[in-house]
Amino acid sequence: MGLTSAEIEQFQKQGYLVKEGVYTNTDLQPLRQGLTETVQDKCDQLIAEKQLDRDFAEASFKTRLARLYRHNPDAGHQVLMSIWSGRFHGAGMLKALRHPPLVDCVADLIGPDIVATSIYRVRPKVPGYLGGEVPWHQDSGYSMSHCYDYVMITCWIPLVDVTLENGCLWVIPKSHQSGIIRHYTGGHAGFLEVAPEDLPTGAIPVEMSAGSVLLMTSMTPHASFENTTNIVRWSIDLRYQDFEVPSNIDEIPQDYTSDRDPVTMACHPGEAYFVIRDTQHPERETTDPADFAALRQRWDRAQVSGGGRRWTPLSERKIKSS
């Protein structure tokens, strides 16, 4: 597939780009199926523990979690946590990460040799679940500060059509050119958050069809808000970089000791990195779902020293008087 010269120019100038039709419905089905199976496993566990009395298996992929959460919010929260963020590494995830049309688009922005990170996220935005709203931030806000000057690409992919009503992403065009913005810890639902007075103007909503891809720089401010419909706004976001960006490939979690110099660390310590495309040494690529799952689990279980930049807590924010 790849990008046209006009699309590359838009990405560079605006800090984002929507590419239609990167995944077909058939392409997305293994991921939807894997997520459905994981939801079912957690429901089975909760039913066995008598914390849930029905699993809503008869409902569609779009509505099941909404109905479950409305029926039993506590159990619904536990189901959400079983797949939230990067916890899911089941069937379909590696295939989605390695999807050739997407990788071709990324290659047109950063070059042919590509590393992915396990900072991918699964985002089921359930109606009424406030933890699904993500405040304004830049992805670089979560990274080590020595990585700010590197190009890292976020690919946000809806598994259902996304609209203003069900919580599409918002972006602020061109603001990526100004670099990192001050973030605060302890924002909505525990996320990092850019304060309103520090946020650039010009935010726009990005409505998209399922299988399209929103490509953003790691400096592009973005957010998503309330889902006011009765369906779940399912999405995933995947992150890519080239070989020059710091990673932990060929390292183990135990290499991250408390006395290690932060500038030698991967941009996101504690998250597994893996090769998606290596034109010189294709044998380094992660192609086996079992190897991928084992890599994720090894890093997920570890307590890795180091972390992102230490921002000021939102509770200590000082607003300048006018």
Same domain, 75 and 184: no
Q: What are 49's two structure tokens?
A: 């523990």
Same domain, 225 and 101: yes
Q: Which of 51, 66, 83 is the last residue of a domain?
A: 83
Q: Tell whether the model's pLDDT for residue 318 goes beyond 60.
A: yes
Residue 316 domain flag = no
For all residues of the chain together, what is the average pLDDT?
93
Q: What are 21's two structure tokens?
A: 């039709």
Same domain, 185 and 253: yes
Residue 132 domain flag = yes
β-pairing verdict for 312-313 and 184-185: parallel
Residue 172 domain flag = yes
Q: What does the alpha-carbon distance between residue 140 and residue 274 come to, in Å, rounded to a whole number?
A: 19
The DSSP secondary-structure symbol of 165 reads T
Same domain, 11 and 34: no
The residue with greater pLDDT, 112 or 308, is 112
Same domain, 16 and 132: yes
Alpha helix locations (H) across the chain?
Answer: 5-14, 25-48, 64-71, 73-83, 93-97, 100-110, 289-301
Instruction: Give the per-residue pLDDT at 306.
Output: 62
Q: Which of 83, 102, 118 is the last residue of a domain?
A: 83
Task: Name the band, by pLDDT with cuts 50, 70 and 90, for residue 23.
Answer: very high
Residue 139 domain flag = yes
Residue 62 domain flag = yes
- Label residue 180 exposed, middle or buried (CB < 10 Å: 0-12, 13-18, 19+): middle
Average pLDDT rounded to a whole number, residues 23-42: 95
Matching residue, tokens 């913005």: 181
Q: What does the alpha-carbon distance between residue 43 and residue 62 come to, in Å, rounded to a whole number?
A: 17
Average pLDDT rounded to a whole number, residues 100-129: 94
Same domain, 76 and 112: no
Long-range contacts of 287-290 (CB under 8 A, 24+ apart): 287/94, 287/98, 289/91, 289/94, 289/95
Same domain, 191 and 303: yes
Average pLDDT rounded to a whole number, residues 57-63: 97
Q: What does the alpha-carbon distance between residue 320 and residue 197 come to, in Å, rounded to a whole number?
A: 9
Question: What does the pLDDT look like over 259-275, one tens digit per residue?
Answer: 889 999 999 988 899 99
Question: What does the pLDDT look like over 5-22, one tens digit per residue?
Answer: 999 999 999 999 999 999
Q: Give me the CATH number covering residue 9.
A: 2.60.120.620
Residue 288 domain flag = yes
Same domain, 227 and 100: yes
Same domain, 159 and 179: yes
Q: Tell whether the model's pLDDT for residue 87 goes beyond 80.
A: no
Number of domains in the chain: 2
Question: Model-level pTM greater than 0.85?
Answer: yes
Same domain, 61 and 129: no
Same domain, 115 and 43: no
Residue span of the structural domain in which 164 resides: 5-24+88-311
Q: Which of 58, 83, 108 is the last residue of a domain?
A: 83
| CA-to-CA dists, residue 197 to 136, 175, 238, 288, angstroms | 12, 15, 29, 46
Residue 230 domain flag = yes
Q: What are 164's two structure tokens?
A: 């203003």
Instruction: Give the per-residue pLDDT at 309.
Output: 59
Residue 290 domain flag = yes
Q: Tell whether the model's pLDDT for residue 320 goes beyond 50.
A: yes
Same domain, 64 and 178: no
Question: What does the pLDDT look like over 192-213, one tens digit per residue?
Answer: 999 999 999 999 999 999 999 9
Percent of the chain with pLDDT over 90: 78
Average pLDDT rounded to a whole number, residues 221-250: 96
Q: Tell whether the model's pLDDT for residue 85 goes beyond 70.
A: no
Task: Name the band, by pLDDT with cuts 50, 70 and 90, for residue 322.
Answer: very low
Question: What does the pLDDT look like over 298-317, one tens digit per residue?
Answer: 888 777 766 555 799 988 88
